[in-house]
């Protein structure tokens, strides 16, 4: 095992005055000493910048993004202002447990991995008393470590807050795709996983707390991003027909929820072709067919 490396943690912030101090201090409170935090205010219209400026810690650098430009561009902007060997990410309404880096970095410093991630609990709001409603990665998505590309093609299970990645790998794959409005973590991981093995520690070291303005809540953005990711990585998905069928089925479901029955039917038909007439895919197609008169 090599010498423990320095880690830079990037936190994009926009209109999160109520949660950003807790999010930042959960990172600064790590028991891992070799870290700094770059918090980038993305054109907030509330007291987010004042809240950041109130945190007195020499390890915190507060920047103002020439924005607002969105979370992906803001993360990329923050990374450009770091020179650490490893990069991690935090969201401005979420929490890290104090041992997150000390549990992950010894294994990552071995040189055997291009990135690593941990387990994450999900809460429906930011109340400290709220119970967890979900957990990632969910059961049934093996393999979770090593070569996980096939697992990632089937489902998105590594949120940005869970990820620690080598800086040279992040730069090599081109960082976050700034054209996407959702699922940017999944699209990034599809590229990172092609660069080498990924480490996983089965401990819940991150807590995701849903805010009213979370992108995760926006179905139109999610569906548009699902379609764009399919376009960007179609050749990759084509190598795993079952994953391609599943992705078409998800897109069809999203389009149905938006009332776009014709386009949903086309994706349902593709799911059937790739998925060997899976009952769920057939049911999805029938729902569309009855709405479009086919």
Q: For the chain, what are the domain ranges?
A: 7-216, 240-292
Residue 264 tokens read as: 């949903």
pLDDT of residue 126: 78
pLDDT of residue 66: 79
How far is residue 239 CA from its own chain's centroid?
23
pTM (2 d.p.):
0.93
Looking at the predicted structure, is the pLDDT value of residue 274 above 90?
no
Residue closest to 131 by CA, chosen among 209, 225, 74: 209
d(CA 238, CA 190): 14
d(CA 251, CA 240): 17
Looking at the predicted structure, is the pLDDT value of residue 212 above 70?
no
The residues that bridge with 116 in the sheet, in sequence order, are 164, 199
Looking at the predicted structure, is the pLDDT value of residue 87 above 50?
yes
pLDDT of residue 287: 83
pLDDT of residue 217: 53
The residues that bridge with 41 in the sheet, in sequence order, are 13, 64
pLDDT of residue 65: 87
Residue 127 tokens read as: 């109340």
Give the strand pairing for 115-123 and 163-166. Answer: antiparallel
The residues that bridge with 164 in the sheet, in sequence order, are 88, 116
Looking at the predicted structure, is the pLDDT value of residue 275 above 80?
no
Cis peptide bond upstream of 137, omega within 30:
yes
Considering the chain, what percentage of its residues have pLDDT values greater than 90? 82
d(CA 32, CA 40): 22
d(CA 210, CA 86): 27
Cα–Cα distance list, 112 to 127, 129, 147, 196 (Å): 38, 39, 12, 9
Per-residue pLDDT tens over the stretch 121-176: 999 887 877 899 999 999 887 899 999 999 999 999 999 999 999 999 999 999 99
**Mean predicted lDDT score pLDDT of the chain:** 92
Per-residue pLDDT tens over the stretch 93-126: 999 999 999 999 999 999 999 999 999 999 988 7
pLDDT of residue 293: 57
d(CA 160, CA 195): 18
Assigned CATH class of 7-216: alpha beta
Looking at the predicted structure, is the pLDDT value of residue 238 above 80?
yes
How far is residue 87 CA from its own chain's centroid?
14
Task: Indicate the pLDDT class of residue 292, thresholds 50, 70 and 90.
Answer: low
The residues that bridge with 89 in the sheet, in sequence order, are 10
pLDDT of residue 214: 58
DSSP 147: S
pLDDT of residue 2: 55
Considering the chain, what percentage of its residues have pLDDT values greater than 70? 95
Looking at the predicted structure, is the pLDDT value of residue 197 above 90?
yes
Q: Determine contact, residues 175/154, Cβ cutoff 8 Å.
A: no
* Residue at token pair 């489902």: 155
Residue-wise burial string across 262-274, b where 16 or more C-beta atoms lie within 10 A, e elsewhere? ebbbbbbbbbbeb
Q: What is the mean pLDDT of residues 226-230?
A: 97
pLDDT of residue 216: 54
Looking at the predicted structure, is the pLDDT value of residue 205 above 90?
yes
The count of other CB atoms within 10 Å of the CB of residue 163 is 21
Task: Indicate the pLDDT class of residue 1, thresholds 50, 70 and 90.
Answer: very low
């Amino acid at each position: 095992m090599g010498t423990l490396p320095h880690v830079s943690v990037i936190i994009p912030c926009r209109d999160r005055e109520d949660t950003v101090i807790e999010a930042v201090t959960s990172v600064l409170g790590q028991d891992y000493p070799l870290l700094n935090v770059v918090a980038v205010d993305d054109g907030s219209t509330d007291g987010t910048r004042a809240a950041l400026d109130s945190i007195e810690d020499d390890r915190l650098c507060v920047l103002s993004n020439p924005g607002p430009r969105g979370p992906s561009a803001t993360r990329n902007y923050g990374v450009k202002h770091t020179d650490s060997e490893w990069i991690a990410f935090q969201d401005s309404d979420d929490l890290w447990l104090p041992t997150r880096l000390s549990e992950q970095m010894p294994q990552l410093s071995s040189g055997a991995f291009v990135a690593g991630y941990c387990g994450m609990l999900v809460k429906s709001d930011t109340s400290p008393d709220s119970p967890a409603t979900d957990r990632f990665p969910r059961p049934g998505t093996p393999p979770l470590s090593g070569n996980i590309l096939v697992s990632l093609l089937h489902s998105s299970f590594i949120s940005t807050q869970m990820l620690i990645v080598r800086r040279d790998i992040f730069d090599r794959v081109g960082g976050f795709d700034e054209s996407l409005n959702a699922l940017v973590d999944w699209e990034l991981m599809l590229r990172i996983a092609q660069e080498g093995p990924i480490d996983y520690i089965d401990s819940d070291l991150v807590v995701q707390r849903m805010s009213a303005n979370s992108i995760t809540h926006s179905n139109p953005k999610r569906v548009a991003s699902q379609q764009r990711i399919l376009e960007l990585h179609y050749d990759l998905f084509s190598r795993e027909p079952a994953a391609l069928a599943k992705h078409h089925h998800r897109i069809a479901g999203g389009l149905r929820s938006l009332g776009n029955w014709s386009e949903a039917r086309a994706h349902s038909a593709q799911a059937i072709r790739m998925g060997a007439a899976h009952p769920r895919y057939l049911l999805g197609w029938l729902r569309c067919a009855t709405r479009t008169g086919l």
